[in-house]
Chain A
Amino acid sequence: MRSKPPKVIVYLANIPLNILLYATLIIPFALMIYLAFLSWNPAAGVDWWQAPFAGLNNFSRALQDSRFLAALGRTTAFVIIVVSIEFVLGLVLAYFMIEEFKGKKISLSLIIYPLMLPWVVVALIFYLFFQDYGPMNNIFLKIILGDAAQNIHWFLSSTTAFISLVIADIWQWTPFIFLIMYSGLSAVSKRLIEAAQVLGASTRTIFWKIQLPLIRPLVLIAVVLRALEAFKVFDIAYVMTGGGPGTSTETLSLYIYRVAIEYHDISYAAALSLIVLVILAIIIRTFIWYSFERGVRT
């Protein structure tokens, strides 16, 4: 049915979307691109259309900005770590939740509750959790480590501060991956599994050879959606560690937020955004190619 599309469908598919995009985002986006080549910020004392051109200065500055590059690398690492852990946890849990048991319904609703909470509140809960006076050291680790737990200061070293961010993110978003994996697994036809069982396949074989391959497209979607959002991680870093100690847990979003909103270095922030945009464009382009042009329907 790749024939010439009927006009009415073309209109439906294009006009609403384009009205929305052009009315809201295109002009600000063009403005952002324009600003990246200027040397302007509100405190400069001139209006933005009068600001001097900076050429590629902002970009060369960005490429030498160790704080930016470190934040970029750190955020990438963060995305890879949290998405893989969340994926494994979500899948394992979904696998165990598939079968019927008592209290399944209520467990299901409880597990997805973190998704319903505002991120700011999640961040502050975990901020309190990991403080020296918080329950992490004083209740949970105390059971394991005894009084030695008092010597752990989560936000004082770069590693533990980073780990605390990872934990908070995993807590909030594993349920998301779980939900997708769970619905995927429950959609796999029971008969198929029964048939395999009759043929003598072990549970493990069924999982690896039947269930997992069948939900593969879902795995892709879940991972990509999660990675998209994880890349923007902001609230937890801002509230929990403040990017500290020093700038060692500063994420890309937090750094750009600081440049754009706290330092008000708008042109530079625009240039940073453009660099991120180019990187993302390549990734997204690959994703589109992989999932649509290559054809997901196997």
Chain B
Amino acid sequence: MSEKTESKISRRRFISASIGAGILGIVVGAAGAWLLKPEVVAEKTVTTTFTREVTKTVTATAPVTVTTTPVGIDMVAQRAINGVRDLLAKGVAKPGDTIRILHVAGSRANLEKAIELWSEYVPEIKVELITLGQEPDVYTKAMSEAVTKAGTFDAVTIFSTWLGDIVESGLARPIDDFFSKYDPGYTGDIAPIEPLASYTTLYKGKRYALVFDSDVFTLSYRRDLLTDPKLKDQFKSEYGIELKLPDTWEELIKMAEFFTKLNLTAPSGGKVWGAYFYAEPRFAAYITWLNIFIEAGGILFDLKTMDPKIDTSEGRYAFDVMLRLKPYMPPEAVTASWADLYDKFVKGETVFTAAWPSLSKEAHRPTALVKDVAGSAVLPGVEVNIGGVKKVVRAAPNPVNWVAVISNYAKNPELTYLFFQFATSPDIGKDVILTGVILDLFRRCWFTDPKYRPAFEEGYGSEFVDAYMKSLEISFPDLLIRGGPEYLGKLTVNVNAVMAGTKDPEDALSETAADWDSITKKYGVDSQLEAWKALANLFPADVKEAWKAKGYM
């Protein structure tokens, strides 16, 4: 009896305590909100006044007067150095100032190279790195900074995919003013190749980023198998077409089937598979689907209403191609993390594969089993009916692509900008890129100018350099609108589900479309449409032609 009353009392006490705590929580929350708010606002005002000050100096001194010209480097880098000297002379920057850059571990060596070169010219300004491990961590940290406005870093290198989110969250500082003041070399022969230069740096028509990298996919293949005369004859007699670099996905499927059925043994001792294209659930599955979808003339959203247009014949065709390829791909393609594709190709276990430029670097390393036989080409396309004429549309995805963004909460945005102008200039950028790892070439002069090209040929192989330039010219962006990672993340899990056989393509497409619709609604249709229209305009010409022929544009 007494125990019962005791538990009753304690239950009542518990309920009242919980309610009390709930109320207390809300009160504390409100109080906290009220208390925290002024501080943040104060910080914000500081930042804005600061920015205004900078802008004032910009208008006051129009062209930068070259005081002492550093020798031996290109004009873009020179302008950056002179800009820093100027800021130092005016007292806007002080010796000992530090620029803090948030970046991912993979680009550490590149940035350290840039810092090393930077300190030869401006030892007064220090650069400090905040290194994060995995790529999503950078996104998380950057978005956190947008919320906390703590000034943890002055600049961040991000996936271009995140640009919409980063800009809309208020983190990215527009850099049009610095662009016109210092000219980072985005015109003429030295300019980064279009359309990449535009779509990775512009959001709703404004410039927010400097290109730091290129991540366009190319087709990697085993040249020895593709040029083997015996295999060529056998293929021709079986399939009736030439064994050569595939122009379309349809041709590639036939070749993949052919090679898989040969049951060849790779240099590593494993089985040789015809193909390996991404279909894994963590991140990369969307890339393959998107590539085929865009080449087939698909458009992600309606340009008038922002309705998702993936549940269409193009969307189904992309799945159709992937599913027909599946028997000729190793099962890892659907399960293992993205790096396993590299491993398989380097061991000679796949004939056709598509990945970032780093695959080519990896395939040419001394330890690679395919170092003498790895070839690179433009990805195959899809035959599209354009105005009654059949045309093969080829396009290359540019998933991720590191770009440098200057934080709105940077202590000295101008100084930070100048570091990146320096680090991405033709001369300095060349050395930074050639340090290896995850950054890759993007300026036209690096492909064409005899002053630069040999160095890149040595790093990547000349076949790759040619194929890569062509790929950059037909490259299309990731979904660089707000919510980009969320849109693509939902697509990825559905593509993976289809490839694993746990979901029907139809269901996958309609579910993804429904998900996308709710994401769009969350951010507001008008705002998203504005960003999508601006982005759609920056797609390669062939794709836009197909869109026009289909009445999408």
Residues on A lying within 8 angstroms of B by beta carbon are 26-27, 29-31, 33-34, 39, 41-45, 47-49, 127, 131-133, 153-158, 161, 241-248, 258, 261-265, 285, 289, 293-295
Contacts and interface: CB of A to CB of B under 8 A. Distances in A.
Contact of B40 (A31, A47, A262): A47
28 contacts: A26-B25, A27-B32, A30-B25, A30-B26, A30-B29, A34-B26, A34-B33, A42-B143, A44-B168, A133-B332, A157-B500, A242-B281, A242-B282, A242-B283, A242-B337, A244-B282, A245-B281, A245-B496, A245-B497, A245-B500, A245-B502, A246-B502, A247-B497, A258-B489, A262-B486, A263-B483, A263-B485, A289-B7
A39 B524 CA distance: 12
Nearest to A30: B29
A265 B486 contact: yes
A153 B335 contact: yes
**Which of A47, A127, A245 has the most C-beta atoms of chain B within 10 angstroms of its own C-beta?**
A245
Contacts of B14: 285
A43 B280 contact: no
A49 B44 CA distance: 15
Nearest to A152: B331
Nearest to A32: B29
Nearest to A289: B7
Contacts of A248: 497, 500, 502
Nearest to B165: A43
Contacts of A26: 24-25, 28
Contact of A261 (B6, B32, B140, B169): B140
A293 B7 contact: yes
Given A33-B25, A44-B168, A289-B7, A242 B500 contact: no
Contacts of A31: 29, 32-33
A44 B25 contact: no
A-B CB proximity, top 8 nearest:
A246-B497, A244-B281, A245-B500, A30-B29, A155-B335, A242-B282, A30-B25, A263-B486
Contacts of B330: 132
A245 B140 CA distance: 25
A45 B169 contact: yes
Given A30-B26, A245-B496, 19 more contacts: A30-B25, A31-B29, A31-B33, A42-B147, A43-B523, A47-B147, A132-B331, A133-B270, A156-B500, A158-B500, A161-B335, A243-B282, A244-B280, A245-B334, A245-B500, A263-B486, A264-B165, A264-B485, A293-B7
Nearest to A285: B14
B37 interface: yes
Nearest to A242: B282
A246 B493 contact: yes
A244 B494 CA distance: 10
B496 A43 contact: no
A261 B136 contact: yes
A84 to B, nearest CB: 27
A45 B170 contact: yes
Contacts of B522: 39, 41, 265
A30 B340 CA distance: 44
B391 interface: no
A194 to B, nearest CB: 36
Contacts of B26: 30, 33-34
Nearest to A29: B25
Nearest to A263: B486
Contact of B169 (A39, A43, A127): A43
B526 to A, nearest CB: 13
Interface string B319-350: 00000000000111011110010000000000
A8 B500 CA distance: 63
Contacts of A42: 143-144, 146-147, 165, 169
Interface in B487-545: 489, 493-494, 496-497, 499-503, 522-523
B10 interface: yes
A49 B502 contact: no
Contacts of B499: 245
B164 A43 contact: yes
Contact of A262 (B6, B32, B489, B494): B489
Contacts of A45: 168-170
A167 B493 CA distance: 24
Interface of B: 3, 6-7, 10, 14, 24-26, 28-30, 32-33, 37, 40, 136, 139-140, 143-144, 146-147, 164-165, 168-170, 270, 280-283, 330-332, 334-337, 340, 482-483, 485-486, 489, 493-494, 496-497, 499-503, 522-523
Given A30-B25, A34-B33, A263-B489, A156 B281 contact: no
Contact of B143 (A29, A30, A33, A264): A264
A30 to B, nearest CB: 3
Contact of B482 (A43, A47, A243, A261): A43
Contacts of B139: 262, 264
Contacts of B281: 241-247
A243 B29 contact: no
A247 B494 CA distance: 8
B38 to A, nearest CB: 11
Which of A44, A244, A258 is most buried by chain B, counting CB atoms within 10 A of its CB?
A244
A273 to B, nearest CB: 14
B289 to A, nearest CB: 14
Given A34-B29, A243-B493, A248-B502, A156 B485 contact: no
Contact of B28 (A30, A131, A293, A294): A30
A289 B8 CA distance: 11
B28 A27 contact: yes
Nearest to A157: B500
A130 B497 CA distance: 19
Nearest to A155: B335
A33 to B, nearest CB: 6
Nearest to B282: A242
Nearest to B270: A133
A141 B163 CA distance: 47
A27 B26 CA distance: 9
A261 to B, nearest CB: 5
A246 B494 contact: yes
Contacts of A289: 7
A293 B6 CA distance: 8
A245 B280 CA distance: 8
A295 B7 CA distance: 11
Nearest to B271: A150
A186 to B, nearest CB: 33
Given A42-B165, A156-B334, A245-B281, A264 B28 contact: no
A158 B502 contact: yes
Contacts of B500: 156-158, 244-246, 248
A153 B170 contact: no
Contact of A244 (B164, B169, B331, B335): B335
Contacts of A261: 136, 140
A44 B523 contact: yes
A47 B147 CA distance: 7
A242 B283 CA distance: 9
A262 B485 contact: yes
Contact of B147 (A48, A131, A295): A48
A3 B212 CA distance: 71
A31 B283 CA distance: 31
Contact of A49 (B33, B331, B486): B33
